[in-house]
Amino acid sequence: MTRLDKLLDFFKDEPNDEFLKYALATEYLRLNETDKSLFYYEDLIKNHPRYVGTYYHLGKLYEALNRKDDAVKTYETGMLIAKDLRDNHALSELQAVYMELKGFDDDDDDY
């Protein structure tokens, strides 16, 4: 039984468990099944918006899919939630990737 099979088994019993959704999204990403990964990450944002770890990974996935506007919005929302939760670690990680992404966008605007 693979790790994915085990996660899906657990998920059958706990379909609203935010950690299992996050684990499934991460596992699907590891398996290069980006559509399924995107489904679970976006479900987390919609149904468990305070699960702050999602924002970094969803933003990175959006970047990989060349969806920079979605990545920027995801990072911005994540930063607001991290501030609200006083999760300084998540906030600093989100700020770093946000600034990096915005930096590239700003450079493009200069030409």
Q: Residue 25 pLDDT > 80, yes or no?
A: yes
Taking the domains of the chain in order of start, what are their residue ranges?
A: 1-48, 58-111
Supply the pLDDT for residue 104.
62
Phi, psi of 86 (to 5 degrees): 60, 40
Q: Which of 24-33, 50-59, 62-71, 100-109 has the lowest mean pLDDT?
A: 100-109
Q: Residue 75 pLDDT > 60, yes or no?
A: yes
Average pLDDT, the chain: 93
Supply the pLDDT for residue 82.
98
Distance in angstroms between the alpha carbons of the first and the last residue of the chain: 53
Q: Is 11 exposed, middle or buried (0-12, 13-18, 19+ CB in 10 A)?
A: middle
CB distance 55 to 77 below 8 Å? yes
Question: The whole model's pTM is what?
Answer: 0.89
Contacts for 69-78 with beta carbons within 8 Å, 24 or more apart? Answer: 71/101, 72/98, 72/101, 72/102, 72/105, 74/45, 75/101, 77/45, 77/49, 78/52, 78/54
Q: Residue 108 pLDDT > 60, yes or no?
A: no
